[in-house]
Amino acid sequence: MPLESWKTVADFLALAKNRIDRLDARLVVQEIGGLRHAQLIAEPQTPIAPEHWLTLLSLLERRAAGEPLAYLLGHAEFRGRRFKVTPDVLIPRPETEHLVELALEKAAALSSPRCVDLGTGSGIIAISLKLEYPLAELQAVDLSPAALAIAQENARQLGADIAFHHGSWFEPLAGQTFDLIVANPPYVATDDPHLQLNGLPHEPQMALTDGADGLECIRAIVSGAAQHLLSGGWLLFEHGYDQGETARNLLTMAGFQAVFTKNDLAGIDRISGGQMP
């Protein structure tokens, strides 16, 4: 019998020790081995099939090299739902939940709001809005065909009825108007050192940075929103920790009222928005 057939969960955890986080190692072996967490703890001598062992070794090397766990597992959690993710889309961040919560708050004031999510990525914002406020009509836009394919698959898997469009920001929405526009655009400046940290080199750069000062996409969204918002409609978008004041200025200059910036749980400027008169 090949040596690999004798490998166990305990063997993998021992091999991964001091190379990757222990929780990451557990999650990887659970996913590949099809094991429950309780089984992992109670039965560490559970054997691992040879083909699974080889996969685990590959994933261990990738995680040790800094590749995000979500890409290794192929999914990530957001608001209690599992979303498929690949290197074609950003990994969902908890901070984006604040954007969804604000959008739901604005949508709740309307019976059947028309909403659009710009730069939808994996679809977490649009899908969450549709599932949590079914009366809303949702559309979503992304420039990346690969990202759109992931978002569409997530929508099918989670049962969210959303119209998806390929294009840049408002380009595929000619003539359409909405009660709510939401976006989590690329807002990291191209020279920001954070782009080299925390697994970000593995994520799609076009979804992280505009290749300039981090505000180009925000400027495009704010300037174009007036043509696509109904009277009283809202524009809400996520941005960087140091972009709150600039975001408010852009909104005010574009004619928005009730302009605001909301902090995340860490007290950092995270979301700005305004209402069309």
How wide is the angle at C-alpha 83 spanned by C-alphas 156 and 53, nearest 5°? Answer: 115
Is the confidence at residue 3, as pLDDT, over 60? Answer: no
94 and 54 co-located in one domain: no
Residue 83 burial by Cβ neighbours in a 10 Å radius (0-12, 13-18, 19+): buried
- Tokens matching residue 3: 């040596």
Lowest-pLDDT range of 200-209, 217-226, 248-257: 200-209
Distance CA 66, CA 72 (A): 11
Q: Is residue 77 part of a domain?
A: no
Q: Is residue 212 part of a domain?
A: yes
**Mean pLDDT value across residues 188-199:** 84
- Report pTM: 0.92
**Domain range spanning residue 44?**
3-65
pLDDT tens digits for 57-107? 999 999 999 999 999 999 999 999 999 999 999 999 999 999 999 999 999
113 and 161 co-located in one domain: yes
Distance CA 137, CA 28 (A): 37
58 and 157 co-located in one domain: no
Q: Is residue 38 part of a domain?
A: yes
59 and 125 co-located in one domain: no
Q: Is residue 83 part of a domain?
A: no
CATH number where 221 lies:
3.40.50.150
105 and 151 co-located in one domain: yes
Q: How high is the pLDDT of residue 49?
A: 86
Q: How high is the pLDDT of residue 197?
A: 77
33 and 93 co-located in one domain: no
Q: Is residue 198 part of a domain?
A: yes
CA 121 to centroid of chain Cα atoms: 7
